[in-house]
Amino acid sequence: MQFLKETAAKVGEALKLKWTDLDFERRVVMITPEKCSKPRILSISPKLEGMLKNPPRRVSVSFYLG
Protein backbone atom coordinates (compact mmCIF):
# COMPACT_ATOMS: atom_id res chain seq x y z
CA MET A 1 0.00 0.00 0.00
CA GLN A 2 2.84 2.40 0.83
CA PHE A 3 4.29 1.77 -2.64
CA LEU A 4 1.01 2.68 -4.35
CA LYS A 5 0.56 5.73 -2.16
CA GLU A 6 4.04 7.14 -2.73
CA THR A 7 4.41 6.35 -6.43
CA ALA A 8 0.81 6.70 -7.64
CA ALA A 9 1.41 3.54 -9.66
CA LYS A 10 -1.61 1.58 -10.81
CA VAL A 11 -2.33 -1.69 -9.00
CA GLY A 12 -1.74 -3.67 -12.19
CA GLU A 13 1.63 -1.97 -12.69
CA ALA A 14 2.69 -2.70 -9.13
CA LEU A 15 1.68 -6.35 -9.39
CA LYS A 16 3.87 -6.77 -12.49
CA LEU A 17 6.99 -5.33 -10.86
CA LYS A 18 10.19 -7.36 -10.74
CA TRP A 19 13.10 -6.78 -8.40
CA THR A 20 15.12 -5.79 -11.48
CA ASP A 21 12.71 -2.84 -11.97
CA LEU A 22 14.01 -1.28 -8.74
CA ASP A 23 17.18 0.81 -8.75
CA PHE A 24 18.09 1.48 -5.13
CA GLU A 25 21.23 3.45 -6.06
CA ARG A 26 19.23 6.04 -8.02
CA ARG A 27 16.17 5.48 -5.78
CA VAL A 28 13.80 4.91 -8.71
CA VAL A 29 11.46 2.23 -10.02
CA MET A 30 10.88 1.55 -13.71
CA ILE A 31 7.19 0.98 -14.44
CA THR A 32 6.23 -1.16 -17.42
CA PRO A 33 3.25 0.43 -19.13
CA GLU A 34 -0.26 -0.94 -19.05
CA LYS A 35 -2.30 -0.80 -22.24
CA CYS A 36 -1.37 2.30 -24.27
CA SER A 37 0.53 4.25 -21.62
CA LYS A 38 4.23 5.08 -21.83
CA PRO A 39 6.97 3.57 -19.62
CA ARG A 40 7.60 5.64 -16.50
CA ILE A 41 10.45 6.10 -14.05
CA LEU A 42 9.22 7.00 -10.57
CA SER A 43 11.17 8.18 -7.55
CA ILE A 44 10.96 6.28 -4.30
CA SER A 45 11.48 7.88 -0.90
CA PRO A 46 14.10 6.75 1.60
CA LYS A 47 11.22 5.45 3.73
CA LEU A 48 9.86 3.29 0.89
CA GLU A 49 13.35 2.10 0.01
CA GLY A 50 13.82 0.93 3.60
CA MET A 51 10.46 -0.79 3.59
CA LEU A 52 11.31 -2.68 0.38
CA LYS A 53 14.77 -3.67 1.59
CA ASN A 54 13.57 -4.71 5.07
CA PRO A 55 9.91 -5.77 4.98
CA PRO A 56 8.24 -6.50 8.33
CA ARG A 57 8.29 -10.21 9.15
CA ARG A 58 4.49 -10.44 9.09
CA VAL A 59 4.33 -9.04 5.53
CA SER A 60 5.52 -10.83 2.43
CA VAL A 61 7.06 -8.73 -0.33
CA SER A 62 7.34 -10.59 -3.58
CA PHE A 63 8.01 -9.52 -7.13
CA TYR A 64 8.18 -11.80 -10.12
CA LEU A 65 11.77 -13.01 -10.57
CA GLY A 66 11.49 -14.29 -14.15
Buried b (16+ CB within 10 A) or exposed e, 18-34: eeebbeeeeebbebeee
pLDDT band at 27 (very low <50, low <70, confident <90, very high): very high
Query: What is the per-residue pLDDT for 59?
Result: 55
Q: For the chain, which residues make up each domain, given as ranges? A: 2-53
Could you give phi then psi for residue 29, rounded to 5 degrees?
-130, 135
Q: Which amino acid makes up residue 43?
A: S
Q: Which amino acid makes up residue 21?
A: D
Measure Cα distances from 59 to 11, 40, 56 in Å: 18, 27, 5
What CA–CA distance (Å, rounded) separates 17 from 34?
12
Threshold 0.95, pTM exceeds: no
